[in-house]
């Protein structure tokens, strides 16, 4: 009988050169580059290129890739009309998944599995398709936010980078700064890839059927939408709302731990030390606090008090605040609506999903795990 691993825990299902995690040492790397170095010195567009191709771009390659992405952020009128047709109370992840699934009707993201046999698809093809999907997914999220709030749609600015355009198109009333743009850019880098997590595995399974790339991304979005995966940063905000005030933190945490309930944003199954992405965002929290001269929301203060309390009670068990805890706080403080936290995660992770799509179809074998049957023995009516 085949050994059973619930949730495929610990099962090696693929070989990949895209990212790596050393959970004991708290190390995350993309194509051999540390996440710390990428967050400090790279941009989301450059990191996406690295994930997709395996190497950093030349100056010309990066400019061409950025130009293709921005071009795809200018959504076709018909696609905007489609977004206008959704009920304004629709779940943002449902809207995003369904719209991405039909992108092939508006953009040239064709894929013919038969052409794989002749090496028809080149690096340029993969970059063009990826630019279309990356540009359009960011624009869909920003445009949907404006439509549901009954505001006019804003077109992208070709002179801006991805993070700047996203914030402009999302809500031009948000008082942004160079630091806020850098925070958005860094969070996009930090969420771009994280080995074989649930949504990446979902996209790999879809890729293995030789489905079209838009369907691959749509399947990843569906998997990401669950609260045990991409929805965790929204749960952090719900949790902070429940706590209410920094003065309530200690009593709330003691009760939560005594009842063995989840403290959202704390701990990560891959790391026995602090999530390296959280270390980077910790510093950005401090920078934002300094830029605002200490003028932060009551929720921000509650979050910082909760982190201190959890550090005292949980750090000896290897449980620390993770990337979801900090990204949720930063997004909220910047002014990004809570219902867009997970769609913003999806924007970033699309680069990782596409990298795995390219890797999967380059040496494809359809996923077909087996099972241990535990139903009734053969019987008759």
Give the active site residues: 268, 324
Measured in Å, how far apart are the chain's first and last C-alpha atoms? 29
The Cβ of residue 63 has, within 10 Å, a number of other Cβ atoms equal to 12
Query: Residue 202 — φ and ψ, nearest 5°?
Result: -60, -45
Helix axes 123-148, 162-170, angle to 10 degrees: 20
Show Cβ contacts of residue 358 under 8 Å, excluding neighbours closer than 6 positions: 52, 126
Q: What is the Cα Rg of the chain in Å?
A: 21
- Is-contact 143 153, C-beta < 8 A? yes
d(CA 234, CA 228): 11
Nearest to 189 by CA among 19, 304, 335: 19
Please name the helix (run of DSSP H) or strand (run of DSSP E) that holds residue 19, with its range, or none.
Answer: strand 19-22
What region, left, alpha or beta, does residue 294 occupy, with left being phi > 0 and alpha being psi -120 to 50 degrees? left
CA distances to 14, 101, 142, 229, 324 from 268, rounded to whole Å, are: 22, 31, 29, 11, 10
């Amino acid at each position: 009988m085949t050994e059973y691993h619930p949730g495929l825990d610990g099962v090696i299902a693929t070989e990949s050169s895209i990212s790596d995690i050393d959970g004991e040492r708290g190390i995350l790397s993309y194509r051999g580059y540390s996440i710390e170095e990428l967050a400090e010195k790279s941009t989301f567009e450059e990191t996406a290129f690295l994930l997709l191709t395996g190497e950093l771009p030349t100056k010309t390659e990066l400019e061409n890739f950025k130009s293709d992405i921005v071009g795809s952020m200018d959504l076709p009128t018909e696609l905007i009309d489609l977004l206008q047709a959704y009920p304004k109370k629709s779940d943002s992840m449902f809207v995003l998944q369904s719209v991405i699934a039909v992108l092939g009707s508006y953009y040239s993201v064709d894929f013919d599995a038969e052409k794989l046999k002749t090496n028809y698809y080149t690096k340029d093809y993969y970059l063009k398709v990826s630019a279309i999907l990356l540009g359009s997914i960011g624009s869909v999220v920003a445009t949907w936010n404006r439509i549901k709030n009954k505001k006019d749609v804003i077109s992208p600015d070709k002179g801006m980078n991805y993070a700047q355009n996203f914030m402009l198109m999302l809500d031009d009333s948000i008082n942004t700064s160079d630091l806020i743009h850098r925070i958005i850019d860094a969070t996009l880098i930090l969420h771009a890839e994280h080995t074989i997590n649930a949504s990446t595995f979902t996209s790999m399974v879809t890729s293995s059927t030789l489905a079209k790339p838009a369907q691959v991304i749509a399947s990843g979005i569906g998997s990401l939408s669950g609260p045990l995966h991409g929805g965790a940063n929204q749960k952090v905000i719900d949790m902070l709302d429940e706590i209410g005030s920094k003065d309530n933190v200690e009593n709330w945490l003691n009760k939560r731990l005594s009842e063995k309930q989840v403290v959202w944003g704390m701990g990560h199954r891959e790391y026995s030390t602090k999530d390296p992405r959280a270390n980077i965002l910790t510093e950005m929290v401090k920078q934002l606090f300094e830029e605002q001269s200490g003028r932060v929301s009551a929720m921000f203060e509650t979050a910082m008090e909760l982190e201190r309390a959890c550090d005292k009670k949980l750090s000896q068990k290897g449980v620390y605040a993770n990337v979801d805890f900090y990204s949720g706080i930063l997004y909220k403080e910047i002014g990004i609506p809570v219902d867009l936290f997970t769609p913003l995660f999806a924007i970033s992770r699309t680069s990782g999903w596409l990298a795995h799509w390219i890797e999967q179809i380059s040496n494809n074998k359809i996923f077909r795990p087996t099972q241990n049957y535990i139903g009734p023995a053969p019987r008759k009516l």
